[in-house]
Amino acid sequence: MGFALWSDGETAWAAGAHEYRPMGLAAIAATDLFTARDFRPAERLPKRAGPRFQGLFASLNDVNAHLLKIRSSQAKQKKLSPNLRRQQAIT
């Protein structure tokens, strides 16, 4: 198994292969998680600018763990942003 992941902030795409057979592409909201049923062989990655390559992963669990890690770090940044603004206003 192997998966490649792309994201543009709102949508995540994953291309996968299972035992060297292409599974196709899956697209989900960036707030969701991938399942094996999401993959469609006929789907293609959009050619528009925006999707950023996130990496190669060994399993769907690894892909989903990466998505959760990204969300966690984004949530932490949002929590810190107001505090940083207050500190900048004081100095």
Q: What is the pLDDT of residue 85?
A: 52
Q: Give the pLDDT band of residue 89 (cuts 50, 70, 90).
A: low
Residue type, 5: L
pTM (2 d.p.): 0.75
Q: What is the pLDDT of residue 77?
A: 74
Q: Write out pLDDT tens, residues 35-77.
A: 999 999 888 777 665 678 899 999 999 999 999 998 888 777 7
Q: Domain map of the chain by residue range? A: 2-90
- DSSP class of residue 31 equals T
CA 28 → CA 10, 16, 81, distances in Å?
Answer: 9, 14, 27
Angle at 49 between CA 64 and CA 42, to 5 degrees: 60
How crowded is residue 38: how many other Cβ atoms within 10 Å of its Cβ?
18
Q: Write out pLDDT tens, residues 16-26.
A: 887 778 899 99
